[in-house]
């Protein structure tokens, strides 16, 4: 319920419009850097653009600690009057985010599982409902929760590498993607493609993701960040209030659906993940990962 004020049109925090093509010389750049265990955040006060670099090795798993730090970082940027846009990317080679940390769901108490799922909801609410322009610079593989994080952004740029894949593959782990995962994907690629993707747990190659609209642009790996900043300049050329009201109009029904059903969604997840059959599936998956490492 604490998020309601973020998403109503009346609460939009309009910020002065600045165009990146009118930047001052490099010597006048004012950059502010803050970091925690799982990410670094750098805000350029002149451009109004922040870059969040995820750094939770080996694969940027979305642990409870990671999710909490990410949400706090987003909330800080949301309140910062100098910030107008955020680029989300990874500092780990070949991986954007491998998604939810299975260790947070296996062998844990219902209380812990509920706390974890609330944190998953929170990161989605903070990104999908942000007043800021959000761009995902997907510089590696992005399954499951990593795909959700990217889809929650306004624009997605992916490295043009046939080895990188993206998608919601929960069914392959014996897990069901919740309704707001489904709603997010459906708003990006449409109903039929979402139904096909979710039932089969499809992981799309970069070229397939572009073809079905899951990402907006493919670019060479070393051009991802310059491209993201260039695209950001186009978005920031639009007056904030007009863009924010339009974004709210498009996304508020989806946000409201989770906010209205938040507690039942948590309880449904806890009940589902606590089933013996699901715990067994997670155990087998973790054992497979350990065998790969060894």
Active site residues: 100, 145, 169-170
Rounded Cα–Cα distance for residues 57 and 185 (Å):
27
Rounded Cα–Cα distance for residues 86 and 234 (Å):
13
Q: Is the dihedral of CA 12, 17, 19, 23 positive or negative?
A: negative
End-to-end CA distance of the chain: 45
- Number of CB atoms found within 10 A of residue 156's CB: 26
Tell me whether the omega of the peptide bond preceding residue 148 falls within 30 degrees of 0, making it cis.
no
Backbone angles phi, psi at 24, to 5 degrees: -75, 175
Residue/partner pairs of 266-271 with CB below 8 Å, 24 or more apart:
266/114, 266/117, 266/118, 266/121, 267/114, 268/178, 269/113, 269/114, 269/117, 269/178, 270/110, 270/113, 270/114, 270/117
């Amino acid at each position: 319920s604490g998020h309601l004020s973020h998403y109503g049109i009346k609460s939009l925090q309009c910020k002065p419009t600045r165009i990146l093509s009118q930047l001052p010389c490099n010597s006048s750049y004012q950059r502010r850097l803050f970091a925690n265990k799982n990410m670094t955040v750098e805000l350029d006060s002149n451009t109004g653009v922040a870059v969040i670099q995820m750094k939770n090795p080996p694969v940027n798993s979305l642990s409870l600690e990671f999710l909490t730090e990410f949400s706090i970082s987003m909330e800080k940027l949301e309140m910062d009057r100098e910030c107008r846009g955020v680029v989300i990317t990874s500092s780990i080679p070949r991986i954007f985010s491998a998604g939810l940390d299975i260790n947070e769901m296996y062998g844990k108490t219902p209380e812990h599982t509920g706390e974890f799922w609330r944190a998953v909801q929170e990161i989605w609410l903070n990104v999908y409902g942000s007043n800021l322009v959000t761009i995902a610079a997907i510089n590696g593989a992005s399954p499951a929760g990593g795909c959700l994080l990217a889809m929650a952004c306004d624009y997605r740029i992916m490295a043009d590498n046939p080895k990188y894949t993206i998608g919601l593959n929960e069914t392959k782990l014996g897990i069901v993607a919740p309704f707001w995962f489904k709603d997010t994907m459906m708003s990006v690629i449409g109903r039929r493609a979402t139904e096909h993707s979710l039932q089969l747990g499809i992981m799309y190659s970069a070229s397939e993701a572009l073809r079905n609209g899951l990402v907006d642009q493919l670019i060479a790996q070393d051009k991802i960040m310059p491209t993201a900043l260039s695209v950001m300049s186009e978005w920031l050329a639009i007056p904030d209030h007009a863009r924010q009201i339009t974004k709210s109009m498009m996304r508020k029904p989806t946000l409201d659906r989770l906010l209205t059903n938040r507690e039942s969604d948590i309880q449904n997840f806890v009940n589902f993940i606590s089933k013996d059959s699901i715990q067994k599936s997670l155990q087998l998956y973790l054992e497979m990962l350990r065998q790969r490492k060894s």
